Amino acid sequence: MVSKKIEKRVLTTYQCDRYGFMRPITLMNELQGLAGDHADELNVGRNVCEKQNIAWVITHMFIDIIDMPRANDKLVYSTWPSNTGAVRSERDFEVRDENGKLKIRAISQWVLIDLQSRRPVRISEYFPDWNGLPERVWERDFDKGIDFVPTKSHVMACRFDDIDINQHINNAVYAVWATESVGFEYRNQHNLRGMDIYFEHEINPNTPTIRIEVGFDGDNISRHKIMTEETEHAKVVCYWK
């Protein structure tokens, strides 16, 4: 029987922005790390997958920030696999304070792929006992995301430290590119309250620059396409207040 992965951590000052709020990349890294550790414990993690020439690839990450954690907050992180289909598996996350108040909830969708063909494979062929918990932290469909007309373009450099051990741009970096591309003045006047990330194609680590096409839906929603030349690698929707 699958059980939840629960960890307690204190949010440090170096994980926070100029106003003491958790940085988006901190949140992404914490959730990603927790998912990886739990997968290892359930014997479906990176080391087990590598031996079979397969890998879990994330396709969606939806994050709802009810109350962004601040420096020195004592937080309780939890994650668990939820719905599982033939080739897709979903994973839920919660971040609560020490008193049990929900601060952040998130849901994600993953696909198991063959590393040689880069094609999805049936989860049951490799992990026949894989299953999830019926509990859901958030009921949402994993849609394809809507298209939009960009109003500006922002160029970011691909840094050495953006590349992870899997030799591609780490998923957490996409959140940085999206939130930075709104501009310093906008970012300085708004607080992030949620993100929808639609992952489409990996980015080659040798790519020198990344272009982010940006559009705004009113004052509190920004939409982003992460591009290299004409290839769209991800869509991101940021919700602000």
Divide the 241 residues of the chain into consecutive groups of 10 and give the mean pLDDT of each group: 92 97 96 96 94 95 98 98 93 98 98 93 94 92 91 89 82 92 95 97 82 95 94 96 95
Asked if 2 and 133 count as a contact pair (C-beta separation under 8 A), the reply is yes
Domain at 152-240: CATH architecture: Roll (3.10)
Right CATH number for 5-126 from 3.40.50.261, 3.10.129.10, 3.20.20.140, 3.40.50.300?
3.10.129.10
H or E stretch covering 184 = helix 184-189
What pLDDT score was predicted for residue 168? 79
Residues 186, 211, 117, 59, Cα dihedral to 10° = 10
> Domain residues of the chain, as ranges?
5-126, 152-240
What pLDDT score was predicted for residue 215? 97
CB-count burial class (<10 Å; 0-12, 13-18, 19+) for 109: buried
Q: Report the predicted TM-score, pTM, of the whole model to 2 decimal places.
A: 0.94
3-state secondary structure (DSSP) of residue 43:
coil
What pLDDT score was predicted for residue 108? 97
What pLDDT score was predicted for residue 164? 83
What pLDDT score was predicted for residue 52? 96
What pLDDT score was predicted for residue 205? 77
Structural tokens at position 74: 């004592």
Asked if 5 and 37 count as a contact pair (C-beta separation under 8 A), the reply is yes
What pLDDT score was predicted for residue 12? 98
What pLDDT score was predicted for residue 207? 78
What pLDDT score was predicted for residue 28? 96
Do the domains 5-126 and 152-240 sit in the same CATH topology, yes or no? yes
Neighbour count for residue 19 (Cβ, 10 Å): 10
What pLDDT score was predicted for residue 208? 72
What pLDDT score was predicted for residue 203? 85
